[in-house]
């Protein structure tokens, strides 16, 4: 399913569990693992400092990827290690394009303090610009990171982005034998204290049933047997995270350009909260932006909401 997997790393200790997770995925799919270190030459005027300092950082990066490559080889995983200079997020995406990578696995954060590498910046920009799935993993989560997954969740709102996530989730479930969970959240926050009873009797629930029926039909057409579906009512991010906890989900797959009838669902505050707080790895599938789009720039992950 995945033949070329990319793991960007800054070599910091918090990223170690995520590297082990990437190794598990590569081993399961017999894929080549690309280990990439980016020397951020745009950081704090680094592009203007002496070349010797940059060379030192490149040398440190080479040690980082060499150590990772050795660990991969010890696990029997084919590995390619590379150090590049440039902006981290664009360098990661460019490398994935040039190397025919079909999956990126990366931490939600790396070094702390002024050397913070990923949280809120690099990971989110890669999610919003990469043409391939990106798995974002909290390296400090309480749950053990294991692959292949056993229970896989795809929240869906029926949008094109969500449909892509359903397709990817089905493919992962087929490859791993996981149970596929399909969830639609009816956003009721704007309806007041009687929101659930109103929604259950009206059009929102009818629409939810249609969305879930379409997703289940897609899964059944792919001959997927272990499929469960559910509708939840409330705040989308909260309900998605609650479902993950209640059903022991160990991987979620989300589309990044989805919307509900009542407001933003998969983008903006919802996605920002999920990528930063999910107790399990989250795979993000981005809807490609067409060349003739009036707004060709990818919509950024918003921290509001």
pLDDT on residue 12:
82
Fold type of domain 151-285 = Rossmann fold (3.40.50)
Statement: residue 292 has pLDDT above 50: no
Q: Centre a 10 Å sphere on the Cβ of residue 293 and count the other Cβ atoms it contains.
A: 9
- Written as six digits, the tokens of 102 are 């079909």
- Res. 45 pLDDT band, cuts 50 70 90: low
Query: At which residue do the structure tokens 């690309």 appear?
Result: 34
What's the rounded mean pLDDT across residues 108-132? 67
Which class is domain 4-137?
Answer: alpha beta
pLDDT on residue 246:
97
Query: Measured at the alpha carbon of residue 112, what is the angle toward residues 125 and 145, in degrees to the nearest 5?
Result: 70
Among the residues of 30-103, which ranges form H helices?
A: 51-74, 88-98
Statement: residue 305 has pLDDT above 60: no
Statement: residue 244 has pLDDT above 80: yes
pLDDT more than 90, % of the chain = 56
Spatial separation of the C-alpha atoms in residues 249 and 149, rounded to whole Å: 8
Spatial separation of the C-alpha atoms in residues 285 and 279, rounded to whole Å: 19
What's the rounded mean pLDDT across residues 126-146? 91
Question: Can 4-137 and 151-285 be said to share one CATH topology?
Answer: yes
Question: Each residue of 168-179: pLDDT tens digit?
Answer: 999 999 999 999
Query: At which residue do the structure tokens 């998605």 appear?
Result: 240
What's the rounded mean pLDDT across residues 55-77? 95
Q: How far is CA 294 from the centre of its chain?
A: 26
DSSP state of 31: P
Closest CA to 10 of 66, 64, 71, 86: 64
The structural domains of the chain, with segments of one domain joined by +, span 4-137, 151-285
pLDDT on residue 229:
96
Bridge partners for 37 per DSSP: 83
């Amino acid at each position: 399913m995945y033949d070329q997997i990319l793991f960007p790393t800054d070599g910091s200790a918090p990223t170690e569990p995520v590297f082990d997770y990437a190794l598990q995925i590569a081993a399961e799919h017999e894929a080549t693992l690309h280990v990439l270190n980016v020397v951020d030459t745009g950081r704090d005027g680094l592009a203007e400092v002496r070349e010797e300092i940059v060379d030192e950082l490149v040398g440190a990066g080479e040690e980082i990827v060499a150590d990772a490559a050795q660990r991969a080889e010890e696990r029997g995983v084919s590995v390619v290690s590379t150090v590049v200079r440039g902006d981290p997020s664009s360098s990661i995406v460019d490398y994935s394009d040039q190397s025919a990578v079909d999956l990126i696995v990366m931490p939600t954060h790396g070094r702390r303090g002024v050397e913070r590498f990923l949280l809120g910046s690099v990971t989110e920009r890669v999610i919003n610009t990469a043409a391939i799935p990106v798995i974002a993993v909290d390296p400090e989560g309480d749950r053990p990171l294991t692959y292949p997954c056993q229970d896989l969740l795809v929240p869906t709102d029926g949008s094109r982005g969500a449909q892509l996530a359903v397709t990817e989730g089905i493919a992962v479930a087929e490859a791993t034998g996981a149970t596929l969970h399909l969830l639609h959240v009816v956003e009721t926050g704007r309806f007041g204290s009687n929101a659930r009873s109103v929604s259950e009797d009206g059009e929102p629930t009818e629409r939810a049933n249609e969305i879930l029926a379409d997703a289940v039909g897609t899964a059944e057409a792919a001959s997927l047997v272990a499929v469960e579906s559910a509708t939840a009512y409330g705040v989308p991010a909260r309900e998605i995270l609650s479902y993950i906890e209640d059903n022991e989900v160990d991987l979620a797959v989300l589309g990044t350009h989805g919307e509900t009838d009542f407001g933003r669902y998969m983008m903006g505050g919802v996605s920002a909260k999920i990528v930063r707080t999910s107790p399990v790895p989250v795979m993000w599938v981005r809807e490609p932006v067409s060349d003739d789009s009036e707004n060709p720039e990818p919509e950024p992950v918003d921290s509001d909401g």
